[in-house]
Amino acid sequence: MRMKLQKILSRFQKLHPKEIDLSLDRIKNLCAKLGNPQDKIKAISVIGTNGKNSTIQACYSILKEAQINCNVYTSPHIIKINERFVFNNKELSDDELATLFEKVEEINKNQPITFFEILTACFFYKAAEYPDNINLVESGLFFRFDATNILKKNLASIITSISKDHLDWLPNSEQTIERIVFEKTSALLDSNIIIAKQNNKPTMNLIKKTIKKNKSNKIYYDEEYYFKKNEDNSFYFKDEKGGLELPKPNILGQFQLENISTAIATLRLLNLEIKDNHIKNGIQKINSLGRLQLIKSGKLKNLAKDNSIIISGDHNEDGARVLNEYLSSLNCNKHLIIGMMNNKDHEKYISYFKNISSITTVDIPNQPNSISGKKLKDKFKNFSNVNYKESIEGAIKSKKLKHGDLLLITGSLYLCGEVLNLN
């Protein structure tokens, strides 16, 4: 069945010459043929640059604790495409996915449509079978012309941290944070908008300015809700419904508290019968593949023996900034293995890392749009201890790790997927 699924996906990828072609026409046309399933669902849309998936996973975990059924649409997948298609709190099996894809493929009748667009149509088509479920929908590249932006109404829009990324899709003269904020926030629906903590005040002010005329109920971090971390990594959350003392979540990093707090603020705002214990239990059961994920066992872990291995798919400057904040809180030597996609600002990304013991660049297997590890090594010449290894296994074996040293594998979600597959 896996082979059948791969053949269908291969056909999907050939329906349009471009991987991305920013337009809503094709997805609207296909969804019209499917009976406009997007009009029959209850959705929380998640828009931003960083923290989208983590915010969705926090929402999902809390909602499951409250015994509320969800459908979840995220991208990209880390290990297998089934991750993108969760219905009734369960990933579709290969069989179910192949059946869904074939139905939509037949209705599409070979019309040009991008890979992401047809996958999005498939999600909406299946989601319409569960009109009472809450749909957690992650937007793709930007939002104004993103395939997920064809809903006429939703429960809420969450704006996570916005920063510079995917600049190659903008004209050279408009590769600015102003343009990115406009693309991501100017076309939000009139409902509820929850704005997460941003990495600086100018970005928050740009968001406020762009959504000023939007008639939605607006909930801003540090105005209508905030959180405070305690010394033992538990934290205090407060919004207009009151304060909550919350336990340490099961995922790492200060920035994850920002994402979790945004999820809590959203769910409490929507009056979904979420109790305090649902939140307390939910934040200790968050599944966050490839986002500051500790590798506890497996083939690759055995290569590092007693040393900790963490993978994190951060790939832009804001991701690098918060990742380095986490690393700076650790009292140990840090060794990095990095692979990246070609269209990223590699020098800017690496510039955020301080006090790193060694860096090894690698090729990302099966990703023709990635930069070769050799070229990446040349771009990191300002760092003294940089090496290149062809494979992830070779890179781990080459590290001279002492007791207590940390090994971090980062730079791309695709690289994290390869690590998890190999492991």
User: How far apart are alpha carbons 382 and 380 in whole angstroms?
Assistant: 6
Q: How many residues does the chain have?
A: 423
For the segment 5-32, the average pLDDT, to the nearest whole number, is 92
CA distance 245 to 259: 16
Angstrom distance (rounded) from CA 265 to CA 259: 10
Calculate the CA dihedral of residues 373, 10, 116, 23 and round it to 10 degrees.
Answer: 110
Q: Return the residue matching tokens 């209508």.
A: 224
Give CA 29 to chain center in angstroms.
Answer: 27
The per-residue pLDDT for 166 is: 61
Model pLDDT for residues 124-180, shown as the tens digit of each residue: 999 999 999 999 999 977 788 899 999 999 999 999 999 876 666 666 777 788 889
Domain boundaries, the chain: 2-282, 293-422
User: Which residues lie below 8 Å from residue 336, measured CB to CB, with a gap of 6+?
Assistant: 353, 356, 358, 359, 360, 407, 408, 409, 410
Predicted pLDDT at 361: 97
Please, are residues 361 and 386 in contact by the beta-carbon 8 Å criterion? yes
User: Is the per-residue pLDDT at 67 higher than 90?
Assistant: yes
In words, the CATH class of domain 2-282 is: alpha beta
Distances (CA, A) of 50 to 30, 109, 190, 367: 29, 36, 23, 22
- Quickly state the pLDDT bin for 288 (edges 50, 70, 90): confident
Peptide bond connecting 17 to the previous residue in cis, omega within 30 degrees of 0 = no
For 286-304, what is the mean pLDDT? 92
Q: What is the pLDDT of residues 241-272, one digit of tens each?
A: 999 999 999 998 888 999 999 999 999 999 89
Written as one string, the DSSP assignment of 63-124 is HHHTT--EEEE-SS-SS-GGGG-EETTEEPPHHHHHHHHHHHHHHHTT----HHHHHHHHHH
**Which pLDDT value is given to residue 168?**
63
Determine the Cα–Cα distance for residues 419 and 408; give it in Å rounded to an integer.
11
pLDDT of 383 > 90? The answer is: no
CATH code, 293-422? 3.90.190.20
pLDDT digits (tens, 9 = 90+) for 172-223: 777 788 889 999 999 999 999 999 999 899 999 999 999 999 999 999 999 9
Report whether 414 contacts 76 (CB < 8 A).
Answer: yes
How many CB atoms are closer than 10 A to CB 70?
21
What does the pLDDT average to over 103-118? 97
Range 304-313 average pLDDT: 92
pLDDT, tens digit, for every residue of 320-362? 998 999 999 999 999 999 999 998 999 999 999 989 999 999 9
Rounded percentage of the chain residues whose pLDDT exceeds 90: 82
Q: Say what the pLDDT of residue 93 is.
A: 96
Instruction: Report the pLDDT value the prediction gives residue 141, as an integer from 0 to 100.
Output: 73
Q: Which residues pair with 238 in a beta bridge?
A: 226, 243
| Fold match, 2-282 / 293-422 | no
| pTM of the shown model | 0.92
